Amino acid sequence: MNQALPQHEHHPAGGGDTGERIAGLVERARRAMAEFHNSDQARVDEAVTALAWSLYKPERATQLAALAVEDTGLGNAADKVIKNQRKTFGTLRDLMRVRSVGVIEEDADRGIVKYAKPVGVVAALTPSTNPSATPVNKAMMAVKGRNAVIVAPSPAGLATTTTTVDYMRRELGRIGAPADLVQVLPSPVDRAATSALMEACDLVVVTGSQNNVRGAYRSGTPAVGVGAGNVPVIIDSSADLDDAAAKIAASKTFDNATSCSSENALVILDDVYDDAMAALRRAGGYLAGPEEKEAIARTLWVNGRLNRRVIAKDAEVLRSEMGLANAAAGARFFMVEEDALGLFADEKLSLVLTVYRARDFEDAIARVAGILEVKGKGHSCGIHTRDADRARRVAESLDVVRVLVNFAHTFGNGGGFDSGLNFTLSMGCGTWQGNSISENLGYRHFLNITHLCTVIPEDKPAEEELFGAYWARWGR
């Protein structure tokens, strides 16, 4: 299938009126759902596999990676190829192992049988950082539940996302499934069209800007939104320092730090600080001096906002824009030492890593908590350690959904082949960040569940069993 891609097939009803355009898309989606509704699990899984192949196919993964960089100016094509394939393959693995049609769970002891039903037409808002991987990821999960999905692209990634959706539709057509199970909001993609889409659908799933997440929750449609990342990672006294540095470097530099799971700050214990910094330099890090730190700040932020000219750019482009010394040439990423919770405590979306020195482990936890208050509360953090008790202490103490231990954070947080978290490109952050979910987005979020309940032997304990301890201590 190397022939030229045809013009996008969508012809919204009603001319240019936004409401009529959206109504036409939703009507087509509902017709496709009705046609697909009686599909059995094997047929559903075939459709999900078709969607996966639409992006996993090597020439498409490569083409769409290059188009994404051209389209958005973010990241690098080589890593986007890996992301397109790795995330898609991992999600397919997860989805092929679960049921989503008919009876999906039986609990004889409780007399409960659970039946999966579609949620309806899904509005899927997707970001410019992943304009091909995220639409496919969401479409696979949605179609797993026999839903239809209408993708609302970031305007910056419109060409990539539109081409990605065309490939998904082509693969659905190839197996005789309704192509309109997956559609894309056509140009012009603006706030009015996206808002109208959210209001017209049955579920909104948002990955991207927090303005879009808040808009989804205000739309009046049930919504799943995810939060912003700003990952801080502790390097503990017991860590394997070279292993930690290698993993941090690989994760930080992947796709030029476009991932919300990319490390943004390191908190290093004082007693290993110098050795850890040496390990990070061996892994390709360059430590900026005080004047260079000021130059980085001036370049990375303009009027308090991240500078799109330098975010998610290659290291050499970033070095040149920041005016760093020749000694920084060849560095994979750039480090700045910090003590305060100012600009450098924020998410940077670039190959800049903030480093804090902690007096002791409790100070390290406090510093991580402070960083998360700046941004990223609820999302995730990490620790490199050989001490399982310290990892548990982090999990007990900090308000995050995920704590990763000895991981390259980007490759474990959204699922990994050595991580028990499911593959996704959308990470819920709980009520800590105003989200409705505190887990990775997964197929279950695209299902309604009917509970068949039958009579079981009575399960009513005596009053003494429930109140006895209270009565004994406090009386009746």
**Rounded CA gap, 395 and 84, in Å?**
31
DSSP, collapsed to helix, strand or coil, labels residue 471 as helix
**Annotated catalytic residue, options 201, 260, 381, 429:** 260
**Rounded CA gap, 146 and 398, in Å?**
37
Backbone angles phi, psi at 71, to 5 degrees: -70, -45
Consecutive H or E run containing 264? strand 263-269
**Rounded CA gap, 434 and 202, in Å?**
20
**What string of DSSP letters covers 304-350?**
TEE-TTTTT--HHHHHHHHT--GGGTT-SEEEEE--SSSGGGS---S
Mark 275-304 as b/e (b = at least 16 C-beta within 10 Å): ebbebbeebbbbbbeeebbebbbebbbeee
Consecutive H or E run containing 404? strand 400-405
Q: Give all strands (DSSP E) within 181-238, no chain letters.
A: 182-184, 203-206, 223-225, 231-235
Query: Which sign does the torsion angle of CA 288, 292, 298, 300 carry?
Result: negative
Residue with tokens 């593959």: 423
Which among 339, 341, 336, 337 has a CA at the least distance from the CA of 374? Answer: 341
Burial class for 38, CB neighbours closer than 10 Å (0-12, 13-18, 19+): exposed
381 counts as catalytic: no
Give the catalytic positions in this structure. Answer: 260
